[in-house]
């Protein structure tokens, strides 16, 4: 049987490259607490992402929690049920009531018009997700921020390195958080970041992630521990050297899928807006028609040792820990999309012949 194909494959520098990057750590014995590797990656990411300030953290999840705390958010935050559970956990763990809002059918991001209808005097922020690297309606959310005086914090875990209208995607909104988990386009094994044009927010997060320590005798607030360590930062530095190749490689896979599947009536592919320079983080398809078709495709691929994923099913609002707890706003589009969606394998070292095989398995099973 052929090697299993998973939905993604972590980017890896060569052993030699990583060992060369970390070898000085054996001289310094400086393993964490904002050492030279942390500072180096910080500077490199500022430049690569074309932003003024960035705080590096131990994970994407802690980046979300840190952003929520840095803005002192309390009350209600409007967000999407069509995301990874981390987005909602971060809100709830900080005492916030998530208000689930429906998504758009064309790009699966939070629907601005529907979000506006859910704004109440308790609403302090909106947390949209640039899901699959599809950039949200940024102008729409900017308008709501201004009209209602609320914050916009983007969960940008899927949009590393993307631009919208020529500007870094993470420069929009009051803040944007990134995930550098091993399964993401760019990774530091585990890791994440908060980007904000407001440097005081980034400074505050940099203290918070280290217990709120200002200096030996001064602790300014109730912080936590979410520092990125030196080995993580060094992995980031290595991966950043090859990120363009990774994205170009993914683009090739993306285009091959589009070529193979665009005429398949039962499949809807994901297209990017023309103003977006994408990173090809995911290749979601909707399996249209009979609702059983999606699982049929999933099973047929599994038989060939190919593991697509149902990102994002079930909806967060249907999970055991959230069901019925945060209102029962109707979410018809999100319900439909989550029941039809399947994300197919995409990463730069995936072979074109594997893409052809995946597409022919899909077309075969849908013909039956």
- By the criterion CB under 6 A, which residues form the site for ligand PLP? 59-61, 83-84, 86-87, 129, 155, 157-158, 179, 181, 192
CA distance 56 to 64: 12
Tell me the closest approach of the beta carbon of residue 190 to ligand PLP, in angstroms: 6
Yes or no: say if 174 and 151 are a contact pair by the CB < 8 Å rule: yes
**Residue nearer to ligand PLP on the CB measure, 281 or 331:** 281
Tell me the closest approach of the beta carbon of residue 45 to ligand PLP, in angstroms: 15
Number of H helices, E strands in the chain: 13, 15
- ω into 314 cis (within 30 of 0): yes
Yes or no: say if 178 and 170 are a contact pair by the CB < 8 Å rule: yes
**Residue nearer to ligand PLP on the CB measure, 83 or 338:** 83
Of 105, 114, 113, 173, the closest CA to residue 134 belongs to 105
Tell me the closest approach of the beta carbon of residue 174 to ligand PLP, in angstroms: 17
**Residue nearer to ligand PLP on the CB measure, 23 or 183:** 183
Residue number with the shortest CB distance to ligand PLP? 60
Q: Residue 143: count other Cβ atoms within 10 Å of its Cβ.
A: 13
DSSP 125-193: EEE-B-GGGPPP-HHHHHHHHHHHT-EEEEE-TT-TT-EETTEEGGGSSSEEEEE--TTSSS--SS-EE
Q: Residue 316: count other Cβ atoms within 10 Å of its Cβ.
A: 25
Distances (CA, A) of 14 to 92, 167, 187, 238, 239: 40, 32, 15, 9, 10
Tell me the closest approach of the beta carbon of residue 217 to ligand PLP, in angstroms: 32
**Residue nearer to ligand PLP on the CB measure, 293 or 317:** 317
DSSP 75-117: SEEEE-SSS-THHHHHHHTTT-EEEE--B-TTT-SB-HHHHHH
**Residue nearer to ligand PLP on the CB measure, 90 or 267:** 90
**Residue nearer to ligand PLP on the CB measure, 157 or 234:** 157
Yes or no: say if 283 and 267 are a contact pair by the CB < 8 Å rule: no
- Residue 287 structure tokens: 């399996």
DSSP conformation class of 316: G
Tell me the closest approach of the beta carbon of residue 93 to ligand PLP, in angstroms: 13
**Residue nearer to ligand PLP on the CB measure, 192 or 236:** 192
**Residue nearer to ligand PLP on the CB measure, 87 or 232:** 87
Tell me the closest approach of the beta carbon of residue 288 to ligand PLP, in angstroms: 25
Tell me the closest approach of the beta carbon of residue 2 to ligand PLP, in angstroms: 28
Tell me the closest approach of the beta carbon of residue 239 to ligand PLP, in angstroms: 14
């Amino acid at each position: 049987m052929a090697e299993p194909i998973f939905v993604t494959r972590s980017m890896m520098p060569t052993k030699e490259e990583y060992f060369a990057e970390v070898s000085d750590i054996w001289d310094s014995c400086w393993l964490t607490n904002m050492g030279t590797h942390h500072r180096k990656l910080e500077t490199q990411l500022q430049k690569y992402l074309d932003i003024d300030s960035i705080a590096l953290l131990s994970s994407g999840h802690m980046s979300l929690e840190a952003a929520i705390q840095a803005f002192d958010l309390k009350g209600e935050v409007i967000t999407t049920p069509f995301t990874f559970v981390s987005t909602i956990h971060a809100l709830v763990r900080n005492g916030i009531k998530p208000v689930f809002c429906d998504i758009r059918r064309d790009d699966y991001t939070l629907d601005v018009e529907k979000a506006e209808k859910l704004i109440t005097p308790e609403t302090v922020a909106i947390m949209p997700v640039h899901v699959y690297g599809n950039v949200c309606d940024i102008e729409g959310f900017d308008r709501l921020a201004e009209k209602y005086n609320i914050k916009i914090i983007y969960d940008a875990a899927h949009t590393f390195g993307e631009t919208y209208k020529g500007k870094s995607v993470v420069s929009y909104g009051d803040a944007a958080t990134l995930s550098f988990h091993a399964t993401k386009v760019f990774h530091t094994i585990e890791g994440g970041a908060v980007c904000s044009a407001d440097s005081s927010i980034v400074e505050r997060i940099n203290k918070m992630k280290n217990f709120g320590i200002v200096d030996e005798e001064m602790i300014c607030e109730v912080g936590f521990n979410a520092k990125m360590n030196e080995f993580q930062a060094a992995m980031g530095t290595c991966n950043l050297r090859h990120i363009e190749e990774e994205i170009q490689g993914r683009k090739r896979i993306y285009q091959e899928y589009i070529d193979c599947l665009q005429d398949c009536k039962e499949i809807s592919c994901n297209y990017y807006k023309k103003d977006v320079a994408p990173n090809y983080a995911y290749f979601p398809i909707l399996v249209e028609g009979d609702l059983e078709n999606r699982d049929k495709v999933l099973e047929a691929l599994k038989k060939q040792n190919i593991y697509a994923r149902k990102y994002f099913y079930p909806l967060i609002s249907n999970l055991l820990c959230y069901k019925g707890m945060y209102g029962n706003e109707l979410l018809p589009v999100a319900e439909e999309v989550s029941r039809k969606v399947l994300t197919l394998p995409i990463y730069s070292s995936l072979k074109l012949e594997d893409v052809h095989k995946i597409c022919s398995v899909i077309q075969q099973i849908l013909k039956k």
